[in-house]
A and B are shown apart, each in its own frame.
Chain A
Amino acid sequence: MTSFRPGTMQCLELHAEGLDAVRLKRLGICQGRLLELIGPGDPMILRIGTSQIGLSRRLASLVLVQPVEPNRQDAASQD
């Protein structure tokens, strides 16, 4: 998910293992969940539900996501 621009996306898969996987999942970064990238960079800021999570790029690269466009804006630009 490191190549995305701010916006909402859905988490498809986690490639993390062991401790990293647990650390991600328990904060809500797991399969099927909606994440909103609000502060790109390294580390980046995500909004999940009502909470904000700071996430290092190295962990973010283990998360496979798919953009979700609620308003059908810039649809194909992120694939």
Chain B
Amino acid sequence: MTTVDDVPATEPSTGNEQQSKTVLLVGNPNVGKTSLFNALAGLRAKTANYPGVTVDLRVAAIQVRSVDSDPHCQASADLDLVDLPGLYSMQPASPEEEVAAKCLRGEFQGRMDHSPDAVVVVVDATNLSRTLVVASEILELNLPTIVAVNLIDAAQAAGTEINIQELSNQLGCPVVPVSARKGNGLDTLRETIYDTVKPDEVALPIARASCVAGCTGCPFAARFDWADQVAGCSTESRKTVSRDLTWIDKTLTSPLLGLAALLTVMLSVFFMIFWVANYPMQWIEMAFGYISETVAALIPSGPVALWLWFPLATLLSLAVFAGAYRLNEMKWTRWSTGTAVAVSLLIGMLPQADFHSLAVDGVIAGIAGVVVFLPQICILFFFITLLEDSGYMARGAFVMERLMRRVGLPGKAFVPMLSAHACAIPGIMSTRTIESWRDRLVTILVLPLLTCSARLPVYVMVAALLFGDSPGKAAIMFAGAYLLGLIAAFGTAFLLKKTVVPGEAAPLVMELPSYRLPSLRNALLTMLDRGTIFLRQAGTTILLISVVLWALATYPKIPEAQLPVDERQQAQAALEYSAVGRIGQTIEPVFEPLGFDWKIDIGIMTSFAAREVLVSSLSIVYGLGEDAAEDTDLLVETLARQTKPDGSPVFTTATGLSLLVFFVLAMQCLPTQAVTKRETGSLKWAIVQFCYMTGLAYVAALMTYQTLAALGFA
């Protein structure tokens, strides 16, 4: 066996004089740098039609070669291609612009502490003059520079011809027209990069004239004038009958209609989620029903010799461990191997009936409970990506700024708030685009209140329980839950402004990108990525929690003598006797005013680290409390059947909505708290966040339940 130990891997390039060269992709925000980076490196970093999406350096190793030489002895060069955050000017106005500017100057500590070997300035063919401004500044750095004119497809469609030769003469550097989306011009770009960084060529210092040399006025204005002039010389606009989109824009950015449009868009996305996802969800449910039956049938019910059973069960369990480790990309260290072997041996020693229950009620029920929601999560990401790509989101930010400023949030907080609707973690990361620390802190603190995709399984479960037969009502409930999250976030921001973090948000000045036809491919790929992440979570964390919960809900076993005579009550009594039953009943009084029974409390406790666990926990806890004959039932049906000791149903409208409100507002996500701590630099803010959210969730759920109960919905 090769050594697997804790010695950090040495950098492969250390001590090697043939260090690979660095090529930077720079340019204005939203000109398609990341798209070009993805196209060149075959990667899938996040892109969107919104300025400032990339907030981090991203490096990929690529190989470039000359095209014309003999393919067998083709010279090639290995490069580190770096995707930088967008920047409007070398005079940075935000931390990530500063990162980009420092990289260009070779002053960035760590990876980029040397001057780049080449710079690819990406400009937007549909907006040449504005995007050339920063090119003039970069050209003055006298680095080996290539200008890539991206979105050439969009420019052609709009009837703009760009004279590449003329542009190249004006700029004094190679100019390559490309389309990152269509893939045009990529080979030429690779070749040009190769020519620029050719290993055997000594780079001569380049002396380019500055367009602002000897200029006394505002240097920005001079650059803009220069860019106007260059763009004017090299573009020719055929008058085409282009579709006039201004009236749409007028509507989408007007104070009232714009807000209404935002709501309509959100509502229709949620309706789609609920309606379209129905079919694949049924298929998944059927598939799991089948798997569950097959597994149950495969486990022999009659006695099997121990020498045969023990190794079989142990091996099976080891195989599941191996699969989970692989999914999680975990190494087989001494610890992880030990755990896997020990647990597998334990499982091998289980009585056959318990093994059956573990497989069916624990593993399969737990995973099925969560995987069913895969279609919904895929659809959500698909539509959000389409919207992001269309350019609508900037209008959303524009419309929302009026409201946001009032509660002390900057207009720029919309970007993080948007990503937080998929997952709070990238949301918190993208608060790095907010310049002022005060604005950034407020945004981070309120972000986890927005509805992330991990809440979807909970919402869907409640919707199916309460409004299973009417997609319209379910959509309204969904929109309500999203709205509640938004309102809570705004309300909290306002309170924070009045108390802990006083001050005003920085006023908005932001580019509104032009509308573009969204890329279906991008949306599909994003959907695939997010679906994979979700499944990985189901195969690892949720599997683990499911097994542990199953064990706690099965042991200790109720003594035969205490089993009730009525067969229908036996399973229930056994569950109440188990560790889970005891814990749940102890904390029941805490959540009782919210309308939750102790099984729901168990769900809340186990979903402390990841909220979607609630669904799998409820599947396990309620499933175990039932007779074996009902094993293969769907979660929602099982839940709808549950009754309190007095015979009334557990999941009334009041309890369902109270549970919903609790999950809209509660923190219930450990990874988010870790990110909050890192980005704010102190544990204090993570604790503040956790406490205020949990408190808010409790009080709001209490109010919901008590009000509805008083109105007779309990």
Contact = CB atoms under 8 A, between A and B. Distances in A.
Given A39-B250, A42-B402, A48-B130, A58 B507 contact: yes
Interface string A10-39: 000000000110111111111111000011
B195 interface: no
A30 B220 contact: yes
Contacts, number: 105
A48 to B, nearest CB: 7
A26 B88 CA distance: 6
Interface string B220-235: 1100110010000000
Contacts of B253: 39, 45, 54
A50 interface: yes
A32 B217 CA distance: 10
B218 A26 contact: no
A52 B509 CA distance: 11
B258 to A, nearest CB: 10
A50 B512 CA distance: 11
A54 B510 contact: yes
Given A26-B93, A59-B507, A54 B394 contact: yes
A56 B401 contact: yes
B192 interface: no
Contacts of A32: 217-218, 221, 225
Interface residues of B, number: 40
B218 A50 contact: no
B510 A28 contact: no
B509 A27 contact: yes
A70 interface: no
Contact of B221 (A30, A43, A51, A59): A30
Pick the most buried of A20, A32, A43, A57: most chain B CB atoms within 10 A of its CB.
A43
Contacts of B254: 41
B127 interface: yes
Nearest to B394: A54
Main secondary structure, interface of A, reads mixed
Contacts of A19: 93, 435, 506
B398 interface: yes
A26 B130 contact: no
B130 A23 contact: no
B216 to A, nearest CB: 12
A31 B217 CA distance: 8
A53 interface: yes
Interface residues of A, number: 32
A27 B127 CA distance: 13
Contacts of A20: 506-507
Contacts of A49: 127, 129-130, 224, 228
B255 A31 contact: no
B62 interface: no
Interface in B190-228: 217-218, 220-221, 224-225, 228
Contacts of B102: none
A38 B254 CA distance: 12
A75 B640 CA distance: 72
B130 A29 contact: no
B212 to A, nearest CB: 12
A57 B508 CA distance: 8
B221 A56 contact: no
B93 A22 contact: yes
17 contacts: A26-B88, A26-B91, A28-B220, A30-B224, A31-B217, A31-B218, A33-B224, A48-B130, A49-B224, A50-B128, A53-B509, A54-B253, A54-B401, A54-B411, A56-B507, A56-B508, A58-B507
Shortest 8 CB-CB distances between A and B: which pairs?
A56-B507, A26-B88, A26-B89, A56-B508, A58-B507, A25-B220, A52-B512, A30-B220
Interface of B: 88-89, 91-93, 126-130, 133, 217-218, 220-221, 224-225, 228, 246, 249-250, 253-255, 394, 397-398, 401-402, 405, 411, 435, 506-512, 514
Given A20-B506, A27-B509, 12 more contacts: A22-B92, A27-B88, A31-B221, A45-B253, A45-B398, A48-B130, A50-B126, A50-B129, A53-B510, A56-B401, A56-B405, A58-B507
